[in-house]
Structure 1
């Protein structure tokens, strides 16, 4: 099967070369590497161009956006450009294990029912320390089950392998602001084809100045929570369209769960608008729709204690 790696970059000169080297030394070389730079203001582009030139990588291409698109839209543009049967999103600052592509391609080749495959990952830090994530690491393939907390996306996009057919379909259900990992995870789940390979295949860099880390801090405010709820309500609507457009043996269950998600989001929206204790108590019945139980308590903290 043909494979494409889609990397996005922005001001990544500190880490990007190490990531490029981890791609270059893959035991199964990708047929295409697309690198989309989002108007970096440092030496990222020149570092990438030199690496491609020095290693004569004719199938690797870098392009620079005329305007800053933001990482969400940049990733989706790259995914839609990809020609490969399998698409691997790639961050600029991680380290892929040398057999990541080989192992994930093999699983996808042998299991046509999989639309999105994710792998375990190992967090690592600038001081060189590494942390094994608290999940099984036995090399087994497992299907991700559909549950009430289906909006929870629990693996980062850099661990994904996406089948081209689903990537093409995704354009019909995308709205500006959707993250590629959120969209692909949820479409994979509701196409009955989301699986995890229980093996660490990537060292996932953790640093406080990453865009994701900064956005996580911002999410602890009332205004940002309101935006997240509104966006997720749109997401739920688009997932209902996806389920209705694609016949599935689980269609009735999928629509029933999404109906519950809509109710949960509507009640959360009322809580953030009204800021009433009785509204927060009412949300207890939707406990199972939260990604983590502590996020329910987080709603209490943001509204009644933080109040920003």
Structure 2
């Protein structure tokens, strides 16, 4: 029997939590356990969780309440360490899961360290807004491209517990937990992707990852903003600190990944451009989802700059 631990981190989520919990109960492959770690809710979330556990004595539900606020990322990074299953799936407090999510991911992970899926965006009235990954990604995501540009959020992930000892070194860091898990897994090997949307991902102004500008860029606007990001010192410093954090803790099985991490950990313009050239040299692995060679090479060269532009805004707290 597949043992999947579902990790839920809550904070004042009473308005939407019931729907998420109901969708977990509907899974065709029931979770081995639900590990719920609350970050000091004051809106009745904790009482809802206690009532849910009492109503479902046949399901292993382990509730934990932080004595002090950890924040979104540290809450998840500490909570995953409590998992007892062979696989770990992260769960937001305000989404809805497809009934076959756990079953499909447990089947599709194969020998990969991590599998992630597509998601359907929805609003507060449950109206579908479109796919998160509108353009299909390849079913196998090479390690180099995954490290250079993480592209999955926490609710999309299922990973092997073998990653936990590495992740334990980051428990107290103010770093984006989902991109960290994605990057650590990618350093171990290629990742698997399922294009079918397996979560209805709620987009509202209270959502931690809400960003109304995400889909508004034109064809060339992204490249222009990537160049402009080189002048954004805070973005570059966050990028540098993130990779410096990884440098001595990431078990890289590929020398190219170790090299690009070292370059980005230095963070100078010269080092950034060296990372761009490395990505260009291995463009098929850096950008596996683009068939046109000219476009692929262009995107590959810019990939480290895209990281600065996008993830440099928030990936680690300065």
Q: TM-score range by the shorter chain?
A: 0.7 to 0.9
**Displacement of 1:2 after TM fit?**
1.4
TM-score normalised by the chain length of structure 1: 0.76
> 1:102-147 CA deviation, whole Å, 9 max, x = no partner?
1111123xx22x1111111111001332122343569x73224513
CA distance in 2, matches of 1:74, 1:175: 9
1:50 has 2:48 as partner: no
Give the match for residue 19 of structure 2. Answer: 18
Give the SS at the match of 1:258.
helix
CA distance in 1, matches of 2:165, 2:143: 24
Give the SS at the match of 2:22.
helix
Structure 2, unaligned stretches of length 5 or more?
A: 215-228, 273-299, 314-318
Query: For 2:113, which of 112, 115, 131 is the aligned residue?
Result: 115
Give the match for residue 306 of structure 1. Answer: none
1:142 has 2:145 as partner: no
Give the match for residue 268 of structure 2. Answer: 266
Give the SS at the match of 2:144.
coil
Give the match for residue 275 of structure 1. Answer: none
Q: CA RMSD in A?
A: 3.2
Matches within 5 A, 1:232-251: 232-243=239-250, 245-246=251-252, 248=253, 250-251=254-255
Give the match for residue 156 of structure 2. Answer: 159
Change (3 A) 1:48 1:242: same
> Quick check: 190-199 or 10-19, which moved more?
190-199
> 1:238-259 CA deviation, whole Å, 9 max, x = no partner?
333245x45x2x22x1133224
Give the match for residue 205 of structure 2. Answer: 208
Give the match for residue 290 of structure 1. Answer: 305
Give the match for residue 62 of structure 1. Answer: 63
CA distance in 2, matches of 1:228, 1:80: 29
Asked if the contact 1:34/1:61 (under 8 Å) is kept, the reply is: yes
> 1:34-79 CA deviation, whole Å, 9 max, x = no partner?
0111110101111122122123244012222111111111101110
Give the match for residue 196 of structure 1. Answer: 193
How many equivalent residue pairs?
267
CA distance in 2, matches of 1:137, 1:151: 19
Give the match for residue 257 of structure 1. Answer: 260
Asked if the contact 1:38/1:68 (under 8 Å) is kept, the reply is: yes
CA distance in 1, matches of 2:173, 2:164: 16
